[in-house]
Amino acid sequence: MKKLKIHRPTKKIYTTDNDFGHYLAGIIDGEGHFSKQGQIVVSFNERDIRHALKLRSQIGYGKIRAVKDKAAVNWIISNKKGALKVMKLIHNKIRHPDKIKQFNDRLCNKYEFEFTENSSIINWEYSWFSGFFDADGYLRIYNVIKKERHYPEIRLLAQIDQKSDILLKQFKENFGGYLGYRNKQDTYYYSTTSYNGMYLLLKHLD
C-alpha cells in the first residue's frame, strides 16, 4: 500500500484551465449556485476567507461579502466578463443536477452561452472531488477512551451532507463507506470511518 505524504498539504493552484475548471466546478457543486439574476454565488465559512480571496484573485472578478448573521462570506460574480470566464472554465464539468439546471436556465439564456451537459457522472481522473470536498466535506480524528481498555482508540471520520443522494452514491461506490438519511433534517450523508476507506479518500485528495 502506497504511503500518504506526511507533510501538511498546501492549497494547489492549478496551472491549466482544464484542471482548475474541474476543481472550481466541484466547489460550485458543493457550496455554490447561479441566481435568478444571473449571478454566480459561492459560499465559504468565514474561516476560509483566504481561500475565497485566492480564488477571486485567480479569476480576477467578483466581490467577497460577509453574510448577515452567519459566520460565512459569499463570493459574488455579477460582471458579464467574470461570469463568462467562470462559465467557460466549468462548462461540461458541473455534476449536481440542480446546478446544471440553474446554469442552463439562468446563465446561458442571459449570456447567450452553450448549455452545459446534463450528466451527473463523476470523472475521478480530474480534480472535481477535491473542490467538492473542500466546499462541503470535513475530516475528523478523535480519541475514544473505553473503561475496559488502558489506551485510547483512534477513530477517523470523513463526512459530506447533501439534500440529495445522487452524488453521494458515487462517493460510496468509489471509496466504500456508508450512505445514510436523517429524517428530521431531510438530508442525506456520506461517511467513511474505516482505515481502508479513509486511505482511499485521502490518497485521492493527496
pLDDT of the chain, 206 residues: tens digit per residue: 667 777 776 666 677 899 999 999 999 999 999 999 999 999 999 999 999 999 999 999 999 999 999 999 999 999 999 999 999 999 999 999 999 999 999 999 999 999 999 999 999 999 999 999 999 999 998 877 666 767 777 888 999 999 999 999 999 999 999 999 999 999 999 999 998 999 999 889 88
How confident is the model at residue 152, as a pLDDT? 76
- Give the pLDDT confidence score for residue 3 in this predicted structure: 73
Q: State the Cα–Cα distance between residues 131 and 75, nearest whole angstrom.
A: 15
> E strand or H helix at 202, and its extent?
helix 195-205
- The strand ranges marked E within the chain are 32-34, 40-45, 63-66, 72-77, 137-144, 153-162, 178-182, 187-192
Q: CA 121 to CA 29: how far, in whole Å? A: 13
Give the separation between CA 156 and CA 14, rounded to whole angstroms.
Answer: 29
pTM for this model (two decimals): 0.90
Asked whether 133 and 162 are in contact (CB, 8 A), the reply is no
Sheet with 63-66: list strands edge to edge: 32-34, 40-45, 72-77, 63-66
Q: How high is the pLDDT of residue 147?
A: 67
Q: How far apart are CA 95 and CA 201, in angstroms?
A: 19
pLDDT score at 85: 97
**CA atoms of 205 and 202, how far apart (whole Å):** 5
Which among 17, 109, 34, 26 is positioned nearest to 76, based on CA atoms? Answer: 34
Res 191: pLDDT = 95
Which pLDDT value is given to residue 151? 73
* Torsion sign, CA atoms 96, 99, 101, 107: negative
Rg (CA), the chain: 18
Three-state secondary structure call for residue 150: coil
**Residue with C-alpha cell 448549455?**
115
Q: For residue 13, what pLDDT is reported?
A: 62
